[in-house]
Amino acid sequence: MNKQTEAFLLAEADIAGAVSGQRGAVVGVSRPHESAHLHVAGTATYTDDIPELAGTLHAALGMSTQAHARIVNMDLDRVKAAPGVVAVFTSADIPGTNDCGPIIHDDPILATDTVHFVGQPMFIVVATSHDAARRAARLGNIEYEVLPPLLTPEEARAAGKSVLPPMHLKRGEPAERIAEAPHSEAGKMSLGGQEQFYLESQISYAVPKEDNGMHVWCSTQHPTEMQHMVSHMLGWHANQVLV
């Protein structure tokens, strides 16, 4: 597994072996990334480098301007009438599952009734150019009912809102034992830890194939996950989607 076969990696291993008197991995010797020579030479092929097929269309997202609100109405007439626009899609147009949550399935691809952060996708504009799609996406007339924000864990708990269902670990009768204890202490503790999340630009290029198939080039660390998401959204079998 992860056996080094590229010439430049083997050469590096030889140098390290000569230095230490042995071949193979050596502590303290930097190992180049397997694609580093492509990156530094500018020869790595990214999705943006793929030649576009004739007739390629471009998509842009219409995004929420509110952090927490109910969507009262989406008037997209100006979007549809904008130059170069071929189609406009909302959550109602998704034939399969409107969800892109990889583990917990609570993240809609396109917002339906409410939005939960500024920039949440609400509709998709497909146009003849990237510029036309982005310009048209700004023309949506969205009517919101702003909802009160919950900014602290205490506020969320008081409102009965949680990211995940609460989990309780209990053994015996702790309340009774604490009440019987000669000494007890109560108070609050605040932790500053945060979960990591990715915030990076991405791109995908999808080409329809014969017999209801789709070939997707995707900027991702998890091609299988993208295959599942695309197939679930379209209501297709996974083997119809190549990523």
Domain boundaries, the chain: 52-151, 201-242
Q: Which CATH code is given to the segment(s) 201-242?
A: 3.30.365.10
Residue 37 vs residues 8, 16, 32, 150, 217: alpha-carbon distances, Å: 9, 19, 8, 48, 22
Distance between CA 203 and CA 201 in Å, rounded? 7
Q: What does pLDDT average to over the chain?
A: 89
Per cent of the chain over pLDDT 90 is 64
Q: Which CATH code is given to the segment(s) 52-151?
A: 3.90.1170.50
* pLDDT tens digits, 191-206: 888 777 766 778 899 9
The pLDDT value given to residue 41: 93
* Encoded amino acid at 85, one letter: V
Helix (DSSP H) and strand (DSSP E) numbers for the chain? 7, 9
Neighbours of 27 (CB within 10 A): 6
Strand order in the sheet with 85-89: 58-63, 121-127, 85-89
Q: Which of the residue ranges 13-27, 132-146, 171-185 would you say has the lowest mean pLDDT?
A: 13-27
| Mean pLDDT across 4-18 | 59
Residue 3 vs residues 10, 14, 19, 24, 29: alpha-carbon distances, Å: 10, 14, 21, 11, 17
Give the confidence band of 48 by pLDDT, cuts at 50, 70, 90.
confident
Cβ neighbourhood burial of 100 (10 Å; 0-12, 13-18, 19+): middle
Phi, psi angles (nearest 5°) of residue 79: -65, -50
Whole-structure pTM value: 0.78
Domain 52-151 and domain 201-242, same fold? Reply is: no
Q: Which of 94, 233, 53, 225 is nearest to 243 (CA)?
A: 225
| Mean pLDDT across 215-242 | 94
Give the confidence band of 4 by pLDDT, cuts at 50, 70, 90.
low
The pLDDT value given to residue 145: 98
* pLDDT tens digits, 168-191: 999 999 999 999 999 999 998 888
Q: Which residues contact 83 (CB under 8 A, 6 or more apart)?
A: 132, 136
The pLDDT value given to residue 1: 46
